[in-house]
Structure 1
Amino acid sequence: MSSAPTARLSLAMCHPRYWPLWAGLGLLWLLVQLPYRWQMALGRKLGRLSMLLLKRRVQIARRNLQLAMPELDDAARERLLVANFESVGCAVFETGIAWYWPDQRLRRIMHIQGDEHVREAVAGGEGMLLLSCHFMTLELNARMFGILHPGVGVYRPNDNPVMEYAQVRGRTRSNKCLLDRGDIKGMIKALRKGEALWYAPDHDYGRHASVFVPFFAVEQSATITGTATLARVKNAVVLPCYTLRLPQGGYKLVIGAPLQNFPTGDDIADATRSNQVIEAAVRQAPEQYMWLHRRFKTRPRKGDPSLY
């Protein structure tokens, strides 16, 4: 993992073209010094405002909810859509909390369920593949797990050097390092060394290394096979891991029991199982999931009409 990115400042980052981004990061730092409940109230208002500004994302999220949850009537889906964008606004503040709050303050609003599974894996010298997903609380998920047990994150590097510096510094505040999502060898090496590796396979990454299996009500959803590939590493366990925002305030870090009989060697069965685990997590708080992504954009056949 010697190629893992590090958070380093450079003179080039002082160029005037980066000043607005520096100002935005500074404003975020200031805002997350406010009382937590104020932040969530502001976040919900920001999320509702974003619906007026991000109309294309509203359309995508609405369509995703139609495809994924046809059992809901239109009124129920619209309520869920609004709640989802309120969660988008809260996620802005939660990113700042994850990147800037000290451990002591964060511990006061975090609750952990299933930490015994981590202790058992550590005692057995096992690598932990943390099967996660794109909840709006994903930044807090990585930070909170790192407070419990520092691990390794998987991410997409940012082309903007200031944003790259900010996210690497923020995401490694309580964790060891980050790996490019394309660095499969680095991920395997981390698991072999007994590390905890955060991994979210729930987005649509195209046809490469993917199979088409059910996800919610969409019977053929492009799903990468990387979860099973990494789970084949000797002496590694797969632990479902996600963070939920609690109605009364604060967060619950959920760590599930190791998946049994996984992987099976059948890509279809293994990808289906992975999606089932993720779907079960999302159904606990669907308004907190990242429905803004075109999850069902890749069709089984190239000539099939777009679902969007």
Structure 2
Amino acid sequence: MEKPRFRVTLLHPRYWLTWMLFAFWFLLAQLPYRWQLAMGRGIGRVMLKLATSRRTIAERNLALCFPELNETELAQLLRRNFESNGIALMETGMAWFRSASWLRKRVAIEGLEKLRAIQAEGEGVLLMAMHFTTLELGAALMGMSITLDGMYRPHKNPVYDYMQRKGRERHTADGTVYQRKDVRGVLRALQRGRAVWYAPDQDYGIKQGVFAPLFANPAATVTGTSRFARVGRAKVVPYVLTRLDDCSGYRLTIYPPIEEIPSGDELQDAILVNQFIEARIREIPEQYMWVHRRFKTRPDGAGNVYEGVRKKKKKRRKVVT
């Protein structure tokens, strides 16, 4: 895709509120780091009260994945998770609006040399991200460390889409962005030895996936990880950005490649992916995005995990000319 380009149509009055919100977001990102964390926790507590549908989704996900926890423990985990989601809003502002030097001061990176060694040998890297609340900031920090390509889905609001792409690409000047459906483009990049950001831990249905266990529950899991690794001749290298409890910053952990992928068996590869993801979630469960409908696609005969939860209505996208 071409680089994000400003267009005069983005100044249409219907987008003025969006521009004002971004201006406010930019100002918040300039506050001291600990202030931003405190504000994020406060936002999360408000979200816990007001975002009833998301709260219900998170409650059901947590109850499904952690049956060993009692009601009090689940409620405490839910509260910490929403606080983490609130902080994620502030961290997105950090990623999009703060300087690279400001960000580098707040992160310790583990495993970067091994990743660079893989690239030095000319091998492609499928950089496997996971939907932790630090996702946006983690992608920015990875982009500052290596040349990183990404997969992308446009936002329906063109101003948000423009600012999102500018924010995401500012730390990776030589990176390339691919539409999520541009499988051939991603494969060619991997075959050329590029590193491509990829997150396989959401429910995209079963047409391009299989049911693989996640916390002992069948989860629709994309098989793209296996295909990209096999056809792109790439190493699957996971990474996680962890927010430290002492408010000192972050730890970016780049793990060794999952050498068993591709195995030649897409189901087995999906199982390996979910096992790795589950292990990382168990380490910091409060920092995972439990507000997503991870188990919305169900095997035949299985009940709807989110029965009664109101679905967000899809709006038709209007084009301003």
Taking structure 2 as the reference length, the TM-score comes to: 0.92
Match of 2:133 in 1: 136
SS at match of 1:8: coil
Match of 2:264 in 1: 265
Match of 1:208 in 2: 207
Match of 2:223 in 1: 225
SS at match of 1:57: helix
Of stretches 40-49 and 254-263 in structure 1, the one that deviates more from structure 2 is 254-263
SS at match of 1:208: coil
Match of 1:276 in 2: 275
Match of 2:47 in 1: 50
Q: C-alpha deviations, 1:30-65, integer Å up to 9, x for none?
A: 001000000000000010011122111000000000
Read off the aligned partner of 2:294 and give its amino acid letter: R
Match of 1:164 among 161, 164, 167: 161
Separation in 2, partners of 1:244, 1:222: 26
Taking structure 1 as the reference length, the TM-score comes to: 0.96
Of stretches 36-45 and 183-192 in structure 1, the one that deviates more from structure 2 is 183-192
Q: CA deviation at 1:179?
A: 1.6
Match of 2:9 among 8, 12, 17: 12
Separation in 2, partners of 1:224, 1:159: 24
SS at match of 2:259: coil
Q: CA deviation at 1:234?
A: 4.8
Q: C-alpha deviations, 1:56-92, integer Å up to 9, x for none?
A: 1000000000111111111111100000000111000
Structure 2 unaligned regions, length at least 5? 307-321
Question: 2:78–2:286: 8 Å Cα contact kept in structure 1?
Answer: yes
SS at match of 1:153: strand
Q: CA deviation at 1:265?
A: 1.1
SS at match of 1:71: coil
Match of 2:192 in 1: 193
Q: CA deviation at 1:181?
A: 1.6
Match of 1:103 in 2: 100
Match of 2:35 among 3, 16, 38: 38
Match of 1:21 among 15, 18, 21: 18
Separation in 2, partners of 1:217, 1:48: 30
Q: CA deviation at 1:266?
A: 0.9
Q: Are 1:291 and 2:293 counterparts?
A: no
Separation in 2, partners of 1:183, 1:111: 33
Question: 2:188–2:232: 8 Å Cα contact kept in structure 1?
Answer: no
Change in Cα spacing, 1:64 to 1:11, as seen in structure 2 (3 Å) is: same
Question: 2:107–2:252: 8 Å Cα contact kept in structure 1?
Answer: yes
Change in Cα spacing, 1:234 to 1:217, as seen in structure 2 (3 Å) is: closer
RMSD, aligned α-carbons = 1.1
Question: 1:241–1:253: 8 Å Cα contact kept in structure 2?
Answer: yes
Question: 1:70–1:217: 8 Å Cα contact kept in structure 2?
Answer: no
Read off the aligned partner of 1:152 and give its amino acid letter: D
Structure 1 runs, 4 residues or longer, greater than 4 Å off = none
**Number of residue equivalences:** 303
Q: CA deviation at 1:285?
A: 0.9
Q: CA deviation at 1:233?
A: 3.1
Match of 1:59 in 2: 56
Q: CA deviation at 1:304?
A: 3.5
Change in Cα spacing, 1:233 to 1:117, as seen in structure 2 (3 Å) is: farther
Question: 1:5–1:179: 8 Å Cα contact kept in structure 2?
Answer: no
Read off the aligned partner of 1:184 and give its amino acid letter: V
Question: 1:211–1:268: 8 Å Cα contact kept in structure 2?
Answer: yes
Match of 1:240 in 2: 238
Separation in 1, partners of 2:20, 2:147: 30
Read off the aligned partner of 1:107 and give its amino acid letter: R
Structure 1 unaligned regions, length at least 5? none
Separation in 2, partners of 1:61, 1:5: 37
